[in-house]
Amino acid sequence: MTSLIREDVQQLIAMKNQENPVVSLYLNLNRPQQRNSELNSLLHSSMQEISADDRLNDDQKKSLQALSRQIHDALHDKIRLQPGGEMLAVFADTSGLWKELRLPASVANSQVHIGFSPYTRPLTALKNVFTRYGVLIADSREARVFTMYQGDREARHDVMISDEVPDQVRVKASMTSGGQVMAGLGDQRIQRHIQDHVQRHLKNTADQAFAIFKKAGFDRLLLASTDEQVLSSLYRHLHSYLQQRCITEFKAEPREETEVLREKASNAIQAWESAQAMQRVDQLMEEYESGGLAVLGVESVLQAINFGQVHTLVLGNDFQEKGFVCDQDRTFSSSRQTCPICGEAMRQTDDLAEDMIEAVIVHNGEVEHAPDAHEGFRPYGVGAFLRFLM
């Protein structure tokens, strides 16, 4: 998560349970033709939600409805100019709070929420979403480089690289024109001559990829070719900064449609990320089993959150537990009790996950999601890497 966004998220989380109700609206701008109809339907559902909400008195309902219309009107013109592949999030309340965030479109679907806290759960999964990928596709005479975000529809900084690489026949004609070259040796020289050009092309490709890296920056790099030799030579030509960022490879050619290349890259990223997530959970379990900096299961995790030990919260996708929270001190318990810090009664909740995520993010921790496929982790449902042991 970029630090700028993290600050915004922390600020929003800090505004929990305030006096004035908040409208939280997420508008996905992926489909330009449908932006306005989506906005209208969000306004509609927000109106419905407001009138059905029995926590609100009539005055609050009236001012929230006015606020919803105000959000609608403010976004109506703005979203026509907004680039695709983005998401616009607005958090507003009746006392003048107005916060807009521009996020990658893959964060969430369009949605609106009314409540006494900003609805921030979609923001907590931002870590992978803000990873920028470089994609480098090459064959022996052409190459293409672009950058992308996962789930984003755009290929940015898209560059096609074409180098003069002679083919077998033309080289043969030019090198044997004096009639000096003998058959066997000549073929070897021709091969070497072509290889020189191919290597120069791959070196040029690597240089241009590095130039784009310096200009645009990307966190991870994917290499693609249908030729294994091209792939391994290309890797050797890459600057060590880029080598370190290489995560995976896939099969593709530079002249394929942008949409097809993005799709292939996106699939390769997904496969890599789920393999990473599996490994990460393996690591958590090993750490736990060896008595290291890890806990598993809801009781231990809640205790670790209470003591501020959690570095990374690892959540199973279907983790849902009832429990008790003190909103003031962000302390947790799975059974009814008074808050160990302030001594007040704790609030009951049907889904601890959201409060747990917030507590961890507020303390500069991270949240990761465990893949469903990890069978060892599943019975625990939740776990955490710790900063320190008690």
Chain positions contacting Zn ion, by CB under 5 A:
326, 328-329, 339, 341-342
DSSP-based three-state secondary structure for 139: coil
Compute and round to an integer the Cα radius of gyration of the chain: 27
In the complex, the smallest distance separating the C-beta of residue 338 from Zn ion, rounded to whole angstroms, is 8
38 C-beta neighbours (distance < 10 Å), count: 18
Q: Please, which residue, 51 or 337, has the CB nearer to Zn ion?
A: 337
Q: Please, which residue, 242 or 339, has the CB nearer to Zn ion?
A: 339
H-helix segments, the chain: 3-14, 35-52, 58-81, 126-129, 168-175, 183-216, 228-237, 240-245, 258-289, 298-306, 352-362
Closest CA to 260 of 144, 163, 162, 161: 144
In the complex, the smallest distance separating the C-beta of residue 327 from Zn ion, rounded to whole angstroms, is 8
DSSP-based three-state secondary structure for 335: coil
In the complex, the smallest distance separating the C-beta of residue 362 from Zn ion, rounded to whole angstroms, is 15
In the block, tokens 């996962």 appear at 150
Position with the least CB separation from Zn ion: 339
Closest CA to 94 of 124, 68, 72: 68
Q: Please, which residue, 173 or 341, has the CB nearer to Zn ion?
A: 341
In the complex, the smallest distance separating the C-beta of residue 346 from Zn ion, rounded to whole angstroms, is 7
- Helices 35-52 and 58-81 meet at what angle, rounded to 10? 170
d(CA 186, CA 190): 6
Find out whether 155 and 258 touch, Cβ atoms under 8 Å. yes
In the complex, the smallest distance separating the C-beta of residue 308 from Zn ion, rounded to whole angstroms, is 14
In the complex, the smallest distance separating the C-beta of residue 117 from Zn ion, rounded to whole angstroms, is 17
Q: Which residues contact 146 (CB under 8 A, 6 or more apart)?
A: 134, 135, 155, 156, 157, 158, 159, 258, 261
Q: Please, which residue, 18 or 328, has the CB nearer to Zn ion?
A: 328
Strands (E), the chain: 22-28, 86-93, 98-104, 111-115, 132-138, 142-149, 156-162, 220-224, 246-250, 294-296, 310-316, 323-326, 331-333, 347-349, 366-370, 382-386
Q: Please, which residue, 38 or 358, has the CB nearer to Zn ion?
A: 358
In the complex, the smallest distance separating the C-beta of residue 155 from Zn ion, rounded to whole angstroms, is 50
Q: Please, which residue, 160 or 342, has the CB nearer to Zn ion?
A: 342
Tokens representing 192? 């070497």
Q: Please, which residue, 150 or 334, has the CB nearer to Zn ion?
A: 334
In the complex, the smallest distance separating the C-beta of residue 329 from Zn ion, rounded to whole angstroms, is 3
Q: How far is CA 381 from the centre of its chain?
A: 22
Q: Please, which residue, 67 or 360, has the CB nearer to Zn ion?
A: 360
Q: Which amino acid makes up residue 116?
A: F
Furthest-apart CA atoms within the chain: distance in Å: 98
Q: Please, which residue, 275 or 341, has the CB nearer to Zn ion?
A: 341
